[in-house]
Structure 1
Amino acid sequence: MKKFATGITVLDSCLGGGIPAGSLVLLIEKPGAGAEIITFQFAVEGVKRGESVLYIVTDETSENLMDHVKVYFPEFTTNEKFTLISFISNITNDARAFLRSSKHDPLGYIRKILATSKYDRIIINNLNNLIRNYDEEEVISLFEELSRKVKNDESVAIVILVEGAVDSRIENTLKSIADGIFELDIQERENEIQRRLKVIKLRRCMVPKNVFRYDITEKGIRMESLMRVI
């Protein structure tokens, strides 16, 4: 079975090489847990391997997104394998104002891309902004289309969802559609911030029985230790 490496060595090892082809993975994070950086690492790893990457950002400009990527991956350079699409223009940084004033339909545009293009790796950062600006059924329908797309193309999609920011019914529906669920937690312990990742489910893959402790470093995500779930 083909697998897509995340670029996080410890995680890839525990997943037997990476995320199985045909998977739609939902990254559910507490704010500040670092899901965005995981998607950067996933995208950079894909470009390194010569794979085509589509990165969709819904809540900031492409320029700001690339500035953020460069903090962790300063040597990363875009090429024909990397497509970055932002739904926020330089004219306005307000998502609602942009969606109201523009004739451009972001949700419809994503659907068009899914119907007409093929990518090895697809990233949506993040789903919350679409849920706030569209009918929930439209967003769920898009999520289902993305699930079918990655299975047909034997590709992988990763989508960020901020925990607790949408109705629990919507969140549970998205969880049921997703092939994989990774939960990212952040907590303050004494004098340090600790971040942990749990693989809740991942079809076509043995789910690790561990909670992964990770740090955000100048080179992206680094996992050093495994903690047994009791």
Structure 2
Amino acid sequence: MTFEKIPTGIKTFDSNINDGFPAGSVVLLLEDIGAGAREFIYTSIYNIIKLKSNQRIFDQMSKKHKDYGKVDEITTTLKLPNEISYISVSKPREDILNENAYSFHKDFYNTLKDGIIFKELSDIYFRQSIVHNLVPDTKNNTYVSHGSDKNILEETYEFLDKHAENNIVVLDSLTELMMYEGDYLNKNDIIMFLKGVVRVSKMWNGLIYLILSANILERQMQEIITELVDGVLTFEWFDRRSVRMQRSLYITKFRGLLPRIEQNNIEKFETRITSYGGFEVSNIRKIV
């Protein structure tokens, strides 16, 4: 029996998770503010786009994985997404690209600009708020609206249904979606929506990343979300008893992957973010 995995493209991380995440997974990125979740996403997207343009390197990765990836008669193969999509709930495409331009070397900006399908939901997100009358169009100073009569969940699912199959989709952010109070929707509606997405994601067979800021929602609601997704990557700050705080990443849960992490006695990954390399694992803390 053969299963597929999709790499994150971050070598220092993939090498510790058997080269990638199981295809069909919905992955929650639970982040202390500024702890690196978005940088993880940007770096992953950048590296995967680069891999797609260099088939030779990916073939070498696949061969190496195939040689070592057979476990108990179950073989996993690596695959790359056909396309990468980025759903932004409130931010315009230009803000996300400009963040990359300021943070990383110029190739990040150019690669993401040309290699991502962007979906903006801000016209729906703000249409029932005062901001609806305050957000100008850069050309004619009028509010930009695509005229959709769908609610934000319908619009999101329609996009996923069209773009998620065998692909990577990022939702930025689940925090904003959970705080949304328009279209007569409540948090329970969004939870049911997420349950449906997790279920159908197994047929889509790609990866869906959800970004959620920690400690914004009530603890019970945050726990409900972490329970229903396939995997949770927790991005935190921790005190190294040094001059500055250190970013860390640990895998809270991941169906089909966590036993391999525990087998290697990995407690957490210490991480760093640089302008040239983006998000990287700088050290691995193991349970002694």
Gaps of 5+ in 1: none
Write the distance in 2 (CA, Å) between the matches of 1:113 and 1:35.
23
The residue number in structure 2 matching 1:203 is 255
Do the aligned partners of residues 227 and 39 (structure 1) sit closer, same or farther apart at CA in structure 2, a change above 3 Å counting? same
Provide the TM-score with structure 1 as the length reference. 0.87
Write the distance in 1 (CA, Å) between the matches of 2:177 and 2:132.
10
Deviates more, 1:93-102 or 1:184-193: 93-102
**Residue 7 of structure 2 corresponds to residue 5 of structure 1:** yes
**Residue 244 of structure 2 corresponds to residue 213 of structure 1:** no
Asked if the contact 2:91–2:122 (Cα under 8 Å) also holds between the matched residues in 1, the reply is yes
Amino acid in structure 2 at the alignment position of 1:72: F
Provide the TM-score with structure 2 as the length reference. 0.71
Do the aligned partners of residues 183 and 115 (structure 1) sit closer, same or farther apart at CA in structure 2, a change above 3 Å counting? same
Structure number with greater Rg is: 2
Amino acid in structure 1 at the alignment position of 2:261: V
Write the distance in 2 (CA, Å) between the matches of 1:15 and 1:165.
29
Secondary structure of the structure 2 residue equivalent to 1:124 = strand
Asked if the contact 2:49–2:111 (Cα under 8 Å) also holds between the matched residues in 1, the reply is no
Q: Which residue of 186, 203, 209 corresponds with 1:152?
A: 203
Gaps of 5+ in 2: 53-80, 134-142
Deviates more, 1:43-52 or 1:7-16: 43-52
Asked if the contact 2:97–2:112 (Cα under 8 Å) also holds between the matched residues in 1, the reply is no
Do the aligned partners of residues 222 and 140 (structure 1) sit closer, same or farther apart at CA in structure 2, a change above 3 Å counting? same
Q: Which residue of 105, 111, 120 corresponds with 2:157?
A: 111
Asked if the contact 1:211–1:227 (Cα under 8 Å) also holds between the matched residues in 2, the reply is yes
> Cα RMSD between the aligned structures?
2.7
**Residue 83 of structure 2 corresponds to residue 83 of structure 1:** no
Do the aligned partners of residues 72 and 148 (structure 1) sit closer, same or farther apart at CA in structure 2, a change above 3 Å counting? farther
Deviation at 1:80, TM superposition (A): 7.4
Deviation at 1:203, TM superposition (A): 1.1
Identity of matched residues, %: 20
The residue number in structure 1 matching 2:94 is 63
Write the distance in 1 (CA, Å) between the matches of 2:202 and 2:24.
4
Asked if the contact 1:114–1:149 (Cα under 8 Å) also holds between the matched residues in 2, the reply is no
Amino acid in structure 2 at the alignment position of 1:55: Y
Do the aligned partners of residues 197 and 79 (structure 1) sit closer, same or farther apart at CA in structure 2, a change above 3 Å counting? closer
Q: Which residue of 219, 225, 236 corresponds with 1:168?
A: 219
Aligned residues: 228
Amino acid in structure 2 at the alignment position of 1:106: I
Deviation at 1:48, TM superposition (A): 2.8
The residue number in structure 1 matching 2:236 is 185
Amino acid in structure 2 at the alignment position of 1:200: T
Show CA shifts across 1:53-89 (max 9, x none): 1111223211000111233252143577521122236
Write the distance in 2 (CA, Å) between the matches of 1:41 and 1:94.
32
Do the aligned partners of residues 185 and 80 (structure 1) sit closer, same or farther apart at CA in structure 2, a change above 3 Å counting? closer
Asked if the contact 1:61–1:93 (Cα under 8 Å) also holds between the matched residues in 2, the reply is no
Asked if the contact 2:233–2:251 (Cα under 8 Å) also holds between the matched residues in 1, the reply is yes
Asked if the contact 1:184–1:198 (Cα under 8 Å) also holds between the matched residues in 2, the reply is yes
The residue number in structure 2 matching 1:133 is 180
Secondary structure of the structure 1 residue equivalent to 2:246 = strand
The residue number in structure 1 matching 2:139 is none
Amino acid in structure 1 at the alignment position of 2:154: G
Deviation at 1:116, TM superposition (A): 3.3
Write the distance in 2 (CA, Å) between the matches of 1:96 and 1:179.
34
Q: Which residue of 104, 123, 129 corresponds with 1:72?
A: 104
